[in-house]
């Protein structure tokens, strides 16, 4: 059960290794983090359309973490007209992006979610949590570590406040394939159903992909806190077995690997298109 031995994974990895210089994508301009609005609109619509495809979802209240400039939130508000939402994003003075959204049914909060004692205080449970966080780091090693911390803290904030049968959209990374498989397997236990998705049009060559979780199996928030904090502690140590060994069963591995091969193929096709 070693995802790093999968032939599709290795073909994809070798394409990326040989051709990485062809990918000129950069989010930093003159030392400042920027977002491409057109790209966000395109992938935002793709994310939401693929998330709700063939699903009958009741969504009245949502949270969007790392949400500025607010494009994903605006798409959700348009898809579900009676919905209300909250957005949380890093303050601009700390390197974050400013909100551009102005909607009466959407509350904007500037906050660094990695502050140790930060907890989400809301009056009712969420029907949907979405998090698409990326670190503002140029150093690849530091960025990978920070991205994982953002993913896990986002998970804690969402899962601790999610309704039974609520739903989740969260970005993930395949930079370390063992860790990716383990996180998917852990997330799988929180939801009755899930699917993995990657855009064929935006950031196709990147490590990013998305986990869509459906029908949350409600759990005690303190237990979720303990579980997520334990995970955060474990990923601080790069020698932890999460980074080099799949910890689930053969059946769980085969299920995840089947889905991940679809993600690999999207990335393979993106690299081939770029190489042409």
Decide the pairing of beta strands 28-29 and 32-33: antiparallel
Average pLDDT over residues 51-76: 91
Position with higher pLDDT, 225 vs 271: 271
Q: What integer pLDDT is reported at residue 30 of this predicted model?
A: 54
For the chain, the domains span 3-275
The 10s digit of each residue's pLDDT in 87-125 is: 999 999 888 889 999 999 999 999 999 887 888 889 899
Position with higher pLDDT, 211 vs 234: 211
Dihedral pair phi/psi, residue 173, rounded to 5°: -130, 145
Average pLDDT over residues 153-168: 92
Q: What integer pLDDT is reported at residue 84 of this predicted model?
A: 94
Q: What integer pLDDT is reported at residue 169 of this predicted model?
A: 97
Dihedral pair phi/psi, residue 110, rounded to 5°: -95, 120
Largest CA distance in the chain: 53
The 10s digit of each residue's pLDDT in 211-231 is: 999 999 977 777 887 888 888
Residue 18 burial (C-beta neighbours within 10 Å; 0-12, 13-18, 19+): exposed
3-state secondary structure of 202: coil
Q: What integer pLDDT is reported at residue 33 of this predicted model?
A: 56
Q: pLDDT grade, residue 237 (50/70/90)?
A: confident
CATH number of 3-275: 3.40.50.12760
């Amino acid at each position: 059960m070693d995802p790093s031995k999968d032939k599709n994974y290795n073909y994809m990895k070798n394409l990326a290794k040989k051709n990485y210089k062809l990918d000129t994508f950069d989010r930093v301009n003159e030392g400042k983090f920027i977002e491409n609005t057109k790209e966000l609109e395109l992938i935002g619509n793709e994310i939401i359309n693929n998330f709700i495809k063939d699903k009958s979802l009741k969504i009245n209240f949502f949270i969007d973490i790392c949400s500025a400039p607010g494009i994903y939130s605006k798409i959700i508000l348009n898809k579900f007209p009676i919905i209300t939402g909250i957005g949380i994003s890093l303050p601009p003075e700390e390197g974050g992006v400013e909100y551009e959204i102005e909607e009466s049914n959407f509350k904007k909060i500037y906050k660094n979610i990695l502050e140790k004692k930060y907890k989400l205080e809301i009056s009712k449970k969420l029907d949907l949590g979405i998090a698409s966080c990326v670190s503002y780091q140029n150093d690849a090693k530091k960025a990978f570590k920070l991205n994982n911390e953002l993913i896990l803290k986002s998970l804690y904030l969402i899962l601790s406040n999610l309704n039974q049968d609520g739903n989740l959209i969260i970005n993930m990374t395949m930079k370390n394939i063992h860790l990716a498989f383990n996180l998917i397997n852990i997330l799988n236990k929180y939801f009755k159903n899930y699917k993995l998705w990657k855009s064929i049009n935006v950031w196709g060559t990147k490590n990013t992909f998305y986990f869509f979780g459906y029908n949350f199996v409600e759990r005690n928030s303190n237990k979720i806190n303990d579980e997520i904090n334990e995970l955060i502690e474990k990923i601080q140590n790069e020698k932890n077995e999460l980074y080099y060994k799949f910890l689930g069963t053969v059946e769980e591995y085969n299920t995840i690997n089947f889905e991940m091969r679809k993600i690999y193929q999207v990335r393979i096709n993106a690299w081939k298109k770029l190489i042409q």
